[in-house]
Amino acid sequence: MITSPLSKHLPIELIFLVLMVLFLPSLEAPKTIFWALFVISWFVVHWKQGKLFIHWDRWDNLLLLCMFSAFLAAPFAGIKHNEWNGGDNIVVYMSLLLLLKHSDYNKDHIIFLLKTVVISTFLATVYGLWLFLITKESSQVELHSVGHVNHSAIYLSISLGVGLSLLLAYWKNTTWLSRLACFFVIAVMISAIIMSRSRSALLMVGLLMLFFGYSWRKHSRQPLVIFSVVVVVGAIGLYIGKADVVEKQMLQVESGSVMKNREMIWRSALLAWRQFPVFGIGAKNYSDITEAKMRHWLEKEGKNYDNNKYLPYPHAHNLLLNTLVEQGLFGFVLLVALLSYLGFRLYRAWPSEKDSYDDWAIWMAASGALFTTLFLGIFNTTLHHEHGMLTMLLIGLWMMHDRQKMAG
């Protein structure tokens, strides 16, 4: 087991992991390179030490199945196109969960990684805001490597959860200067989410504050009261200030189209799933669901295509529906089992007053990531590339820490 403090020798695979996290929201190529180096070095180091998956349990079989689910479903895909190229994303983020679950880094290493998540996201956010507000090179607030504004908002929400976790856990044991720096970083992230005009991500900000405040009530009820006031005052301020995200919502309410596009996309998704219910259309084949195909499928069902009911779209704007369409009931059941397993484990491990602040920070960061993935997954396709990697990184770090904690 690695027990050296952070100031001493860092394992080579951990160095690659830190570098991956540092580049994760900013640069595509370095992020991928350092992920690959982390995986390769992890296997080499653990093989040499004779510690290759020595803590394997029955739930790891589920993780392994989920990792390769897209490839297992590919031979039976209803649409033949990119199904063999669509599983790499799942392999990448599931590998982080599986390998970290079987790693042995100490608390200092884990907390350092959490801080790196916050710092790297802050730097990527500042660059995104620079392009959006100053140079006008971007029409939306986006993190360079993450891309589309909705996916950037998801990534920001998960990272915000990490920042709030660290702020809450170490409030009493840090200086005012560190507190102010953390406040500033969190404020920048929230500002970026507001400017992204993502209504679900903005709602997620409030839910995370309330969730962490409620979780911390065993220590003190003060954070719950403060976060509640911040949420209420913030909502009133956005309404009075006529923020773009509020105006967007009000316009859709007035026109009666708050969820119209989502409903059309989801109806189209269910139509596609009904054609290939067991193994789906194949990972990365969602964009092949064209209007022509939908017209054909509806004709077979004795129905007519209606532009007001169906909408071709590159993805389902819903995590579970997207999986259901691409991997059928096979992938859907595996995903539900995985999310249920992770949620149950985190719930059962809810920290007590006796647990250390490190325990709380690591647990809250992982719980916030899963909560964000589940909630935003109702409206968008979460567990996708960068924010999928970030989510599994945080949960994997907690699972490793929890195993070590249980072992004493």
Contact between 283 and 326 (Cβ < 8 Å): yes
Give dist(CA 344, CA 389) in Å, integer: 20
Residue 80, pLDDT score: 93
Give dist(CA 101, CA 234) in Å, integer: 38
Contact between 291 and 312 (Cβ < 8 Å): yes
Establish if 364 belongs to a structural domain: yes
Q: Which residues, 6+ apart, have CB-to-CB distance to 85 below 8 Å? A: 283, 284
Contact between 281 and 289 (Cβ < 8 Å): yes
Cβ–Cβ contacts within 10 Å for residue 8, how many? 8
Establish if 185 belongs to a structural domain: yes
Residue 164, pLDDT score: 97
Chain centroid, CA 387 distance in Å? 4
Establish if 347 belongs to a structural domain: no
Residue 258, pLDDT score: 66
Q: Which residue has the tokens 């059928």?
A: 328
Establish if 37 belongs to a structural domain: no
Looking at the structure of the chain, the number of domains it has is 1
Establish if 237 belongs to a structural domain: yes
H or E segment to which residue 43 belongs: helix 28-48
Contact between 315 and 381 (Cβ < 8 Å): yes
Q: Which residue has the tokens 């653990």?
A: 46
Q: Whose CA is closest to 155, among 403, 316, 393, 407?
A: 393
Query: What are the C-alpha distances in Å from 289 to residues 136, 195, 281, 296, 321?
Result: 34, 32, 9, 11, 14
Contact between 353 and 218 (Cβ < 8 Å): yes
Establish if 276 belongs to a structural domain: no
pLDDT single digits (tens) 330-357: 999 999 999 999 999 999 999 988 899 9
Contact between 380 and 200 (Cβ < 8 Å): yes
Which tokens belong to 273? Answer: 């799933």
pLDDT single digits (tens) 39-92: 999 999 999 999 999 999 999 999 999 999 999 999 999 999 999 998 999 999
Q: Whose CA is closest to 158, among 194, 110, 193, 106?
A: 193
Range of the structural domain that residue 160 is part of: 86-255+353-407
Length reported for the chain? 408
Give dist(CA 251, CA 173) in Å, integer: 46
Burial (CB count <10 Å: 0-12, 13-18, 19+), residue 232: exposed
Q: Which residue has the tokens 């991500």?
A: 201
Residue 7, pLDDT score: 42
pLDDT single digits (tens) 234-254: 999 998 988 888 887 778 777
Residue 5, pLDDT score: 44
pLDDT tens, position by position, for the chain (408 residues)?
Answer: 333 344 457 889 999 999 999 999 999 999 999 999 999 999 999 999 999 999 999 999 999 999 999 999 999 999 999 999 989 999 999 999 999 999 999 999 999 999 999 999 999 999 999 999 999 998 899 999 999 999 999 999 999 999 999 999 999 888 999 999 999 999 999 999 999 999 999 999 999 999 999 999 988 899 999 999 999 999 999 989 888 888 877 787 777 666 888 999 999 999 999 999 999 999 999 999 999 999 999 999 999 999 999 999 999 999 999 999 999 999 999 999 999 999 999 999 999 888 999 999 999 999 999 999 999 999 999 998 999 999 999 999 999 999 999 887
Following DSSP, what letter does each residue of 233-292 receive, concatenated?
A: HHHHHHHHTT-HHHHHHHHHHHHT-SSHHHHHHHHHHHHHHHHSTTT-S-TT-GGG--HH
Establish if 381 belongs to a structural domain: yes
- Rounded to 5°, the CA angle 224-227-230 comes to 150
Give dist(CA 32, CA 81) in Å, integer: 24
Establish if 270 belongs to a structural domain: no
Give dist(CA 119, CA 182) in Å, integer: 10
